[in-house]
Amino acid sequence: MYNEMPVLSRKNQIFSFKDVGFYNKFRIFGKEIKLKKKISYDYYYKALKKWYKYKTNEILQLEQPEKFNEKILWLLMNDKSALKNQLSNRLHLRDYISSKAGDKYLIPLIGVWENADDIDFNRLPEQYVVKSINTELPDYIVKQSSREDLVRLHYKIKKYLKRESSENDYLPFTKNKLPSGVIIEEYLAASGEVLNEYKVWCFNGIPYYVGIENNNGKRKTRDIYDMDWELQAFECDYKKSGIIVPPPANMHRMIDACKSLSKDFYFTQINFYNIDEKLYISDIKFCPDGVVTKILPAEYNLKLGEMLIIPVDKLKNKNLEKICV
């Protein structure tokens, strides 16, 4: 499957290799290693098809996309508006949230740094969250860290900022340099209860579904509700929790904010934290987490795709650009 070639031992597969499209995947003595590849323009669409096949075990159809996952990929390749590019910068994203929905939805900001060596960790509070200005890199949650922990965090920030500066080597169609730097926000914690994250899917400027994510330390779950708070029959990436919860008291405010924030886009995923009936927007994405989501039962991939209206007839896949993998 995908050029999987045992090298040292056919019987025990001590070493194997897969061409996954956007990266090569190696297995050495049972350990898997993924390495990104530099992708040329001529190879890009071919790499995308391999990556999609690897993720879904399906053939990618972009000429006339029908399934939800296909339409999300089509938008990522064809709908590269200046506004979407601007909102890949978390500082610009904060400004956008403020202008469309209000400052009350922003997570309090501690500071912004372009260089890890300029951060004085001794002057930071005990708990905070470190985020890259470029929204594609991971966040770090800090809770009452020791000096050794802060030394490791400083090293990680330097490492990722260096990685940010070199990311363009792997993005052949990116016109603008990805922003570099970190922001540090206040750590949000629910009072005496599990902190749930709400992810609202908006189709053509209308919120339709909200996924409640919960990680109780054992396994991550996700329950999907519609706007009338009816639990849906399908799953996305994670199993259901098996627990039906009441809608949040401020659900109407969540819906109103989503309508204001999503009206300029074909698809958005708007992420909320709800703490003591106060809403904070943690992120706005133009695709589900992981780009391609596992939807079960499989027929809902088509049903969700029918809900998302995209201008396929206006753009015929002529200009391939960056896809966030």
Which residues are bridge partners to 89 per DSSP? 134
User: What was the pLDDT predicted at 315?
Assistant: 56
pLDDT grade for 12, boundaries at 50, 70 and 90: low
**Minimal CA–CA distance to 211: which of 298, 283, 269, 154?**
269
* Domain residue ranges of the chain, discontinuous segments joined by +: 1-37, 108-186, 193-307
Q: Which pair of tokens denotes residue 221?
A: 């779950």
Q: Is 3 left (phi over 0), alpha (psi -120 to 50) or beta?
A: left
Q: Check: CB of residue 308 under 8 Å from CB of residue 282.
A: no
pLDDT grade for 128, boundaries at 50, 70 and 90: very high
Q: What is the pLDDT of residues 74-104, one digit of tens each?
A: 998 888 888 998 898 999 999 999 999 999 9
Give the pLDDT mean for 125-131.
92
**29 contacts: CB under 8 Å, gap ≥ 6:** 14, 15
Report angle CA 42, 160, 132 to the nearest 5 degrees. 95
User: What was the pLDDT predicted at 325?
Assistant: 39
Q: Check: CB of residue 48 under 8 Å from CB of residue 21.
A: yes
**46 contacts: CB under 8 Å, gap ≥ 6:** 21
**Range from 23-27, 185-189, 205-209 that averages highest in pLDDT:** 205-209
User: What was the pLDDT predicted at 94?
Assistant: 96
Q: What is the pLDDT of residues 51-79, one digit of tens each?
A: 999 999 999 999 899 999 999 999 988 88
pLDDT at 323 over 80: no
pLDDT grade for 16, boundaries at 50, 70 and 90: confident
DSSP-assigned states of every residue in 109-161:
EEEEES-GGG--GGGS-SEEEEEESBTTSPPEEEES--HHHHHHHHHHHHHHH
According to DSSP, residue 105 is labeled G
pLDDT at 171 over 50: no
Q: Which residue has the tokens 């579904």?
A: 209
Q: Check: CB of residue 137 under 8 Å from CB of residue 170.
A: no
Q: Which residue has the tokens 């994405």?
A: 285
pLDDT grade for 170, boundaries at 50, 70 and 90: very low
According to DSSP, residue 176 is labeled S
pLDDT at 193 over 70: no
**279 contacts: CB under 8 Å, gap ≥ 6:** 104, 105, 250, 253, 254, 257, 272, 273
User: What was the pLDDT predicted at 319?
Assistant: 47
Q: Which residue has the higher pLDDT, 137 or 97?
A: 97
Q: Check: CB of residue 270 under 8 Å from CB of residue 257.
A: yes
Mean pLDDT taken over the chain: 85
pLDDT at 321 over 50: no
In one-letter notation, the amino acid at residue 38 is: K
Q: Rounded distance, CA 251 to CA 153, Å? A: 36
Chain centre to alpha carbon of residue 287: 7
pLDDT at 222 over 90: yes
Q: Check: CB of residue 132 under 8 Å from CB of residue 182.
A: yes
For the chain, give the longest Cα–Cα distance: 61
Give the pLDDT mean for 318-322.
44
pLDDT-wise least confident of 11-20, 67-76, 245-254, 277-286: 11-20
**149 contacts: CB under 8 Å, gap ≥ 6:** 142
Q: Rounded distance, CA 257 to CA 255, Å? A: 5
pLDDT grade for 295, boundaries at 50, 70 and 90: very high
Q: Rounded distance, CA 192 to CA 180, Å? A: 36
User: What was the pLDDT predicted at 168?
Assistant: 44
**Minimal CA–CA distance to 187: which of 104, 115, 113, 280?**
280
SS3 content of the chain, % helix, strand, coil (to 5): 30, 25, 45
Compute how many other C-beta atoms are within 10 angstroms of the C-beta atom of residue 182.
Answer: 24
Give the pLDDT mean for 8-12.
49
**Minimal CA–CA distance to 284: which of 269, 272, 273?**
269
Give the pLDDT mean for 294-311.
96
User: What was the pLDDT predicted at 137?
Assistant: 66
User: What was the pLDDT predicted at 322?
Assistant: 39
Q: Which pair of tokens denotes residue 100?
A: 């469309």
User: What was the pLDDT predicted at 122?
Assistant: 87
At the top level of CATH, which class does the domain 193-307 belong to?
Answer: alpha beta
